[in-house]
Structure 1
Amino acid sequence: MSTPHSHANVVDLTHTITEDMPVYPGTDAPIIEQGTTVAKEGFAEKKLTFFSHVGTHMDAPAHIFEGKKTLDALPASTFTGPACIVDVASLTLITLDVLKQYEDQIAQCDFVIFSSGHEKLWGTEAYFSPFPTLNEEAAKWLTTQDLKGLGIDAISFDTMDVTRLFIHEILLGSGLVLIENLKNLDTITHPIFTFVALPLKILESDGSPIRAIAMVP
């Protein structure tokens, strides 16, 4: 018996890894070298050198805490589930009042994805300019909502001027995974969709680049 084709619309939420992409300040840019070529060796392979938190990527609890879970230690089911978009485009601070407006949707979801519109600045210096971040109360509330993870279309869940990643500590400390540098969130209009964010299965991985997609009904 043949199975019917899925009618879900698949939206790619992932930035392409390039040598000139934005990277977190202090991090080396990716190096992408042509290791072999079809013309010379008969097959093409690239040699890739980049940090584990480059581009669209996932943070494991081990990113901030020694002894906490690495991505390879988490079940594959951690990386997919129902998600909702929280529109934070006009905000500088994401407060509990903002989240409460989406409380019914959040209760049905494994992932909450924050859409700030900041992805439009990707590739420019302005990508590092201020973007919406959670305050402590909102971050702590999210850790009580039986979620697997959170995502955002900006480079961090903390502001760029901090010396301690306090919001990361609250979220990762509770066992959530965090996805940063998402894109195309403004194309998703459905209130709840299937989110898939698969990290590379690297031994003791504190983080990994991912291919993130939305499967929209």
Structure 2
Amino acid sequence: MNTPHSRAKVVDLTHTITEDMPVYPGTEAPIIEQGTTVAKEGFAEKKLTFFSHVGTHMDAPAHIFEDKKTLDALPASTFTGPACIVDVSGLTVITLDELKRHEERISQCDFVIFSSGHEKNWGTAKYFSPFPTLDKEAATWLTTQNLKGLGIDTISFDPMDITRLLIHEILLGSGLVLIENLKNLNTITAPIFTFVALPLKILESDGSPIRAIAVLP
């Protein structure tokens, strides 16, 4: 007899890569060209030109440090595990006190994902306006929590008006991976879920676009 099985719900957390998508200031926009077509060559292929930190992407420790690991040097298990959402909407700074409110859930997770609601500004100039970022104390505490990585629905873990990526330095320096430009975080209500964020396996990659998903129980 066939026994029905439950089907997990999968939520796509990834922005589509397009030529007019927001990119970090100073980065060239993606170029997507039609290399071949079904009508002419019998098969379709696109030629893609973009930087390694475009769209929903992952930062490797090597993004900031020459002597740290690249994504291709990390085991595949680095890119998936239990995760929790921390709602930081309405905040300007994510403090240690705020994180401590979620300490029990964080202790059960490999990934902490910050939901700021800033994704609503995707595609507009407001996407580069101020958004919540960790302070130094909060970032340092997260490096002690046996995590694999952190994610956020903004373009950076550091403010846009700085010259030194201090929060990146703290987090990546500890070996964490960082996922930026996530979306649809406000649709996740499960306290803990399975997070999957698979980067392209590019030689010596300092970062890579990813397809990030949440698998809900």
Aligned to 1:27: 27
Q: Which residue of 1 aligns with 2:135?
A: 135
Aligned ranges 1:57-68 → 2 under 5 Å: 57-68=57-68
- 2:176 alignment partner in structure 1: 176
Given the alignment of the two structures, is residue 160 of structure 1 paired with residue 160 of structure 2, yes or no? yes
Aligned match of 2:215: 215
Paired position in structure 2 for 1:185? 185
Q: What is the distance in 1 between the residues matched to 2:3 and 2:63?
A: 41
Deviation at 1:67?
Answer: 1.3
Deviation sequence 1:163-194 (CA, Å, 0-9, x none): 01000000000000000000000000010000
The letter of the residue matching 2:151 is: G
Q: Map 1:9-20 onto structure 2 (within 5 A).
A: 9-20=9-20
Query: Match for residue 72 of structure 1?
Result: 72
Alpha-carbon spacing, 1:5–1:71, altered in 2? closer, same or farther (3 Å): farther
| Amino acid in the other structure paired with 2:10 | V
Question: Is 1:40 aligned to 2:50, yes or no?
Answer: no
Matched, 1:88 2:88: yes
Give the direction of change, closer, same or farther, for the CA distance of 1:6–1:50 in structure 2 (3 Å limit). farther
TM-score for the superposition, normalised by structure 2: 0.98
Query: For 1:137, what is the secondary structure of its paired residue?
Result: helix
In structure 2, stretches of 5+ residues that fail to align are none
Aligned CA distance change for structure 1 residues 94 and 201 (closer, same or farther; 3 Å): same
Q: CA deviation at 1:154?
A: 0.1
Offset at 1:2?
Answer: 8.0
Unaligned runs of 5+ in 1: none
Q: Which amino acid aligns with 1:18?
A: T
Q: Which 4+ stretches in 1 moved above 2 angstroms?
A: 1-6
The 1:34–1:93 alpha-carbon spacing in structure 2 relative to 1, beyond 3 Å, is: same
TM-score between both structures, scaled by the size of structure 1: 0.98
Deviation at 1:90, TM superposition (A): 1.1
Shift of 1:6: 4.8
Residue 126 of structure 1 corresponds to 126
SS at match of 2:195: strand
2:78 corresponds to which letter in structure 1?
A: T
**Which residue identity does 2:7 align to in structure 1?**
H
Q: For residues 64 and 198 of structure 1, what CA distance do their matches in structure 2 show?
A: 20
Secondary structure in 2 matching 1:54: coil
Distance 1:2 1:18, change over 3 A: farther
- Alpha-carbon distance between aligned partners in 2 of 1:72 and 1:120, rounded to the nearest angstrom: 32
> What residue number does 2:149 align with?
149
| Post-superposition offset of 1:5 | 4.8
Number of residue pairs matched?
217
Cα distance in 2 for residues equivalent to 1:5 and 1:83: 23
Mapped partners of 1:130, 1:158: distance in 2: 10
